[in-house]
Chains A and B, each alone.
Chain A
């Protein structure tokens, strides 16, 4: 299929690395001069920009963290004066304290390019009608997809999220061919369409879904319910927004646009860079972004990078779907638990046939951690007697015990009783943090 920036997307490894080195040196120098937080860390490490000659020196540079965005809130990490910043995006983050990032005109341009490269890769052209059902506003999803679709000349339906009946109405009336939203919302829309029996009125052929973790199973379910191909996109506002990593038509990992971002995989404990192909924490350096440069930013996402050539002909490295977050980890009775582990166990019980909807509640009662898991009942689990339902609960609890080394109280609940959010899916409530 076609490429948007064919020359950039097919640079040889050698050419890419030369370009990255040049751009890294430029970025380190200007960030050192303009951003106090980075300068201090360089000074503490006994480094100056003159010590950085290219990507071979990347590993020497200090890391940056989400906490920095809170500490220097609002504009302390910007590398351009406000007169050059043409937009900000902000999020509340999980801890409640807000973070904000800024974009210059050039930054918005390169962002639109990154998203548009993906649209082109999946076969979209100016003939397509793109319904953007990510939230518009401070969240990067809506405007990121909007600008990307505008870049290729597609017709944009700027829906934003929510009001599902109207979403479906517009999809049908305006002949949307591509849907952009969170995967959990795509599934929700798919369920509503199925319930209303409207699937054959859709013109949809593809969807770009991201901003939250989702499984291959969910992908199949969305593809089936909406009759489309579902593509994965990766991004975070600290680096850019959606479009940092994008699947191509082959859906075998997300190409990271290496002419703009350098990814690394590190061991989150020792902070050492891991060899190619290893699984660890994803770290990004932005080498072209002006307004909010990020040097070795710790994403907390756990994944691996694949440098083998892709069938599509693009040379940019592919990241695998993140399997968890180094800070999503719950510590329950001293045991490390990732929600993704719970999901895996549930998938194995459902025979891979169903996407289990679950909700974890952790609390502390009489100085003991409680661990409760609500799982939505499905026909695959259901039998006509209480005994076999109790057996399903027991099987789930036993499999979790052997996978996590931890006892859990399982509750089967009515389908759809666990809230499907229209933004990010929330699967954990840790009440211990509230008191």
Chain B
């Protein structure tokens, strides 16, 4: 499934990430995945949240630069090599994976991966019919 990812610019100063998390918590936004990419001077926090539009709005109001982009949420099979199959499938259709990270589903017992590719629509079409495509809005968002 294509999901909305919220990314925020974080200056690498102590406490910035905590401030951001507090702002989201104070506005009743759940974070179900977070991945931090950083250099020496700054970082980018990428998040899967229960309400991306609201999260972006409250962060912007608190002075944080952020952006919403589309990424792929892929269901993890519990059979060995299940995720490797998904990666192969994408790679064979020359989808370069920019980055990926694990995400918890709002439903117990289901594991998800967040995958970022250039052409997210085409990648989604590839996996939609497979078991990896077994992701539903209720797994990600608070509905």
Residues of A participating in the B interface, judged by any CB pair closer than 8 Å = 195, 377-379, 382-386, 389-390, 411-417
Q: Is the CB of B67 within 8 A of A414?
A: no
Also in contact, A414 and B39, with CB within 8 A (given A377-B9, A382-B9, A385-B99): no
Residues in chain B near residue A383, CB distance under 8 A? 7, 67
What's the least CB distance linking B92 to chain A, in Å?
A: 24
Residues in chain B near residue A412, CB distance under 8 A? 9, 41-42
Residues in chain B near residue A378, CB distance under 8 A? 65
Cross-chain pairs A/B with CB under 8 angstroms, 18 sampled: A195-B61, A377-B65, A379-B65, A384-B5, A384-B46, A384-B67, A384-B69, A386-B38, A386-B43, A389-B39, A390-B39, A412-B42, A413-B11, A414-B9, A414-B63, A414-B64, A415-B65, A416-B63
Q: Is the CB of A389 within 8 A of B42?
A: yes
In the complex, which residues 41-95 of chain B have their Cβ closer than 8 Å to any Cβ of chain A? 41-44, 46, 61, 63-67, 69
Residues in chain A near residue B5, CB distance under 8 A? 384
In the assembled complex, the Cα of A415 lies from the Cα of B65 at a distance in Å of 7
In the assembled complex, the Cα of A114 lies from the Cα of B36 at a distance in Å of 57
CB-CB contacts of B1-36 with A at 8 A, as 1s and 0s? 000010101010000100000000000000000000
CB-CB contacts of B88-112 with A at 8 A, as 1s and 0s? 0000000000110000000000000
In the assembled complex, the Cα of A416 lies from the Cα of B63 at a distance in Å of 7
Also in contact, A417 and B11, with CB within 8 A (given A385-B98, A386-B43, A390-B39): yes
User: B125 within 8 Å of A by Cβ?
Assistant: no
In the assembled complex, the Cα of A112 lies from the Cα of B67 at a distance in Å of 50
Residues in chain B near residue A195, CB distance under 8 A? 61
In the assembled complex, the Cα of A416 lies from the Cα of B43 at a distance in Å of 17
> How many of chain B's residues touch chain A, expressed as a range?
20 to 34
Q: Is the CB of A385 within 8 A of B37?
A: yes
In the assembled complex, the Cα of A390 lies from the Cα of B9 at a distance in Å of 12
What's the least CB distance linking B101 to chain A, in Å?
A: 12
Residues in chain B near residue A386, CB distance under 8 A? 37-39, 42-44
In the assembled complex, the Cα of A412 lies from the Cα of B39 at a distance in Å of 12
In the assembled complex, the Cα of A378 lies from the Cα of B46 at a distance in Å of 17
Residue in A377, A390, A414 whose Cβ sees the most chain B Cβ within 10 Å: A414
Residues in chain B near residue A414, CB distance under 8 A? 9, 11, 16, 63-65
Q: Is the CB of A385 within 8 A of B44?
A: yes
Q: Is the CB of B44 within 8 A of A384?
A: yes
In the assembled complex, the Cα of A412 lies from the Cα of B16 at a distance in Å of 15
In the assembled complex, the Cα of A386 lies from the Cα of B38 at a distance in Å of 6
Residues in chain A near residue B42, CB distance under 8 A? 377, 386, 389, 412-413
What's the least CB distance linking A111 to chain B, in Å?
A: 40
Residues in chain B near residue A415, CB distance under 8 A? 63-65
Residues in chain A near residue B38, CB distance under 8 A? 386
In the assembled complex, the Cα of A389 lies from the Cα of B16 at a distance in Å of 18
Residues in chain A near residue B7, CB distance under 8 A? 382-384
In the assembled complex, the Cα of A389 lies from the Cα of B66 at a distance in Å of 13
What's the least CB distance linking B55 to chain A, in Å?
A: 14
In the assembled complex, the Cα of A417 lies from the Cα of B64 at a distance in Å of 11
Residue of B nearest to A388 (CB): B44
Q: Is the CB of A382 within 8 A of B43?
A: no
In the assembled complex, the Cα of A415 lies from the Cα of B42 at a distance in Å of 13
Residue of A nearest to B99 (CB): A385
Known: A383-B67, A415-B65. 11 other contacts (CB 8 A): A378-B65, A379-B65, A382-B9, A384-B67, A385-B37, A386-B44, A389-B39, A411-B41, A413-B42, A414-B65, A417-B11
In the assembled complex, the Cα of A389 lies from the Cα of B7 at a distance in Å of 12
What's the least CB distance linking B94 to chain A, in Å?
A: 19
Residues in chain A near residue B65, CB distance under 8 A? 377-379, 382, 414-415
In the assembled complex, the Cα of A378 lies from the Cα of B61 at a distance in Å of 14
In the assembled complex, the Cα of A382 lies from the Cα of B39 at a distance in Å of 15
In the assembled complex, the Cα of A384 lies from the Cα of B116 at a distance in Å of 10
In the assembled complex, the Cα of A31 lies from the Cα of B5 at a distance in Å of 71
What's the least CB distance linking A413 to chain B, in Å?
A: 6
Residue of A nearest to B7 (CB): A384
Q: Is the CB of A379 within 8 A of B67?
A: yes
Residues in chain A near residue B44, CB distance under 8 A? 384-386, 389
